[in-house]
Structure 1
Amino acid sequence: MVEERIREVFAGAGAEGLLHAVPVLGGPGADEVDVGADESVVIASLFKVLLVLEFARQVAAGQLDPGERVRVTAADRLGGWGTAGCADDVELSLRDLAFFAISVSDNSAADLLLARVGLDTVRLLAAELGLERTRIVGGPRDVLEAMLAEVGARDEAEFARVYPALPDEHKRRLSVLDPLRTNAATPREITRLLRLVWCDEAGPADACARVRELMARQVFRHRLVSGFPDEVTVAAKTGTLPGLHMEAGVVTYPDGGRYAVSVFVRTRELTASRPAVDAAIGAAARIAVDSLRGRGL
């Protein structure tokens, strides 16, 4: 069975994985590939898709000016990509915060955008879209502060010194790795979100189009994209935490076939970089989509 082949791909990379894949235009009862699709999973930076969707909806409603200027200061920087890793203050628009939050998974941009959009409105959006098992507890800074507190570190520099020496048992108990205590959903709910966006059913058409455009501009091409030939396009969003590797997106073929895929992988090693796992995400997604296409979808 296709599900068993997918599990073997994950096992070959020294990991366990969950996956859901379905045609974008599939309605209730549509064919699907389901490997633990209803299990709760940590969504990490996949949360940014909901965040940017809410931003785009507020822009479409005239509630926010996308050109509004925001200054990213040292107090806002969390480290990592984009403005989060800049050495100096940066000024940019809300629209560009959304761009950086999706394209390079900029955590500082996401936090500042969340402060403007509102955490409660993002939660309400999830409920409106029928994402009943999606839980949003906060943004990237909330995740970072939880990690610092749980390892007894005062700042990121101290965390970088303390974390590597912690026993794996302690690391695995961190709330950011527990779907009951952090931003979470299920693989099926993530593909539902994507299908709604791709069908202009997650908000005004121009808001959905903006999210699709930004996901198509994600710079990271080592997971889902790695499993498909050049003529296939992938618009996606990654997420990564120690021992957790994930990506969700829409795969579009030249013949117009479109498939929403979400893949969540857990490894025994609590590392953020695992090329074999990245490749397994792409390979598993390809097996799932090939199966759907072979069924006449």
Structure 2
Amino acid sequence: MSGAVPPRRSALRARSFLGTLKALDALSAAGAQVSVRVADIDSGEAVLVGDDHLTLPVAGLGVVPLLIEVAAQIEAGTLDPLQIIERTAVDPVTVGGLWHQLKAPALPVSDLAVLAAAASDATAANALLARVGLDAVRARVEQIGLVKTALLDGFRDTRGPDDAPHVALASTGELAALFAALVNAHVVSPAVSAQVSEWLSLNQDLALVGASTALDPFAHDDDRHGLLFVNKTGRADGIRAEAGVIAGPRAGAAYALIVCFDDLSVAHRVRAHEAFRALGLDLMEYAY
């Protein structure tokens, strides 16, 4: 990450995030592009910041603004959550998810939202995007004040020269702020914020930051130890991204981390994943 600004740490609550800093420094030294932001969920004060202004590809994290638009249209009464959408309404795509493996040829909007949030289901997300419209999602992104976040395209098995180069772009600064606003019920309306947060709380991808929470990936929306964890990940070749909120009895934080790296070997991929897990450990220390 030539010329990158090293992540800096606030003295807030005197927690170090030393493990995260070391892991991100190692990634940067190896040539990866890294962007990170952690902020206290109550005060909004920055805890850890590194190049959080950069606009970078975030893959499946682009589902979040899509889900916001779906929930907003449901609240407005312009979209029926029980409307049935045929799988054949969109081109086949198998890059992720479950629907393309299921026998059901059609599902209601609300179930598609669950699949998109919980299983990063590409077909479900594409079906929702076809229903609500890309222009509507872009207008919603602008309406909620995001200027460095954009959903560019649906999911594709292969991207040709005429396709958008990425599904979505965002900055960690905006992603962390967006998740804080969702949890604090400030996105569109309290009902929309609650619905999107509920969908995202079902996310089963706990392999990155979530690996340090020890939560059950299949049932973690009501933890017996009072841990709140809402997140969304994005994965593509050479891209790992995650944003979310983690809160415990002591404190809570909104976070976002994007790593763009040369995916030349399993070792390169593992090194990227280790940075997310280091962030998870530091966030758990912050929350507890």
Smaller-chain TM-score bracket: 0.7 to 0.9
Match of 2:131 in 1: 116
CA distance in 1, matches of 2:133, 2:72: 13
Q: Deviations over 1:166-210 (max 9, x none)?
A: xxxxxxxx933xxxxx62111001111112211111122222111
CA distance in 1, matches of 2:73, 2:101: 28
Amino acid corresponding to residue 213 of structure 2 in structure 1:
F
For residue 241 of structure 1, the aligned residue among 228, 236, 244 is 236
Alignment of 1:57-72 (within 5 A): 57-72=72-87
**Is 1:33 equivalent to 2:48 in the alignment?**
yes
Range with greater deviation from structure 2 (85-94 or 110-119): 85-94
Q: Contact 2:263/2:269 (CA < 8 Å) preserved in 1?
A: no
Which one has the bigger helix percentage?
1
Q: Contact 2:210/2:280 (CA < 8 Å) preserved in 1?
A: no
Q: Deviations over 1:217-248 (max 9, x none)?
A: 11111111123355434211110110111111
CA distance in 1, matches of 2:240, 2:265: 9
Q: Contact 1:197/1:211 (CA < 8 Å) preserved in 2?
A: yes
Q: Contact 2:38/2:253 (CA < 8 Å) preserved in 1?
A: yes
Q: Match of 1:175, SS? A: coil
CA distance in 2, matches of 1:228, 1:18: 22
Amino acid corresponding to residue 56 of structure 2 in structure 1:
V
Match of 1:131 in 2: 146
Alignment of 1:55-94 (within 5 A): 55-73=70-88, 76-86=91-101, 88=103, 90-94=105-109
For residue 38 of structure 2, the aligned residue among 15, 21, 33 is 21
CA distance in 2, matches of 1:288, 1:277: 17
**Is 1:279 equivalent to 2:264 in the alignment?**
no
RMSD: 2.9
CA distance in 2, matches of 1:65, 1:74: 17
CA distance in 2, matches of 1:150, 1:133: 23
Q: Contact 2:69/2:136 (CA < 8 Å) preserved in 1?
A: yes
CA distance in 1, matches of 2:18, 2:204: 31
Q: Contact 2:116/2:124 (CA < 8 Å) preserved in 1?
A: yes
Q: Deviations over 1:47-87 (max 9, x none)?
A: 10110111011111111110001111396320043345326
Structure 2 length as normaliser, TM-score?
0.79
- Segments of 5+ residues of structure 1 without an aligned counterpart are 152-173, 177-181
**Structure number with higher relative contact order (C-alpha < 8 Å, ≥ 6 residues apart):** 1
Q: Deviations over 1:136-171 (max 9, x none)?
A: 322214xx55x23479xxxxxxxxxxxxxxxxxxxx
CA distance in 2, matches of 1:127, 1:150: 25
Amino acid corresponding to residue 264 of structure 1 in structure 2:
I
The total of aligned residue pairs comes to 260
Amino acid corresponding to residue 252 of structure 2 in structure 1:
R
- The percentage of counterpart residues that share the same residue type is 24
CA distance in 2, matches of 1:214, 1:196: 15
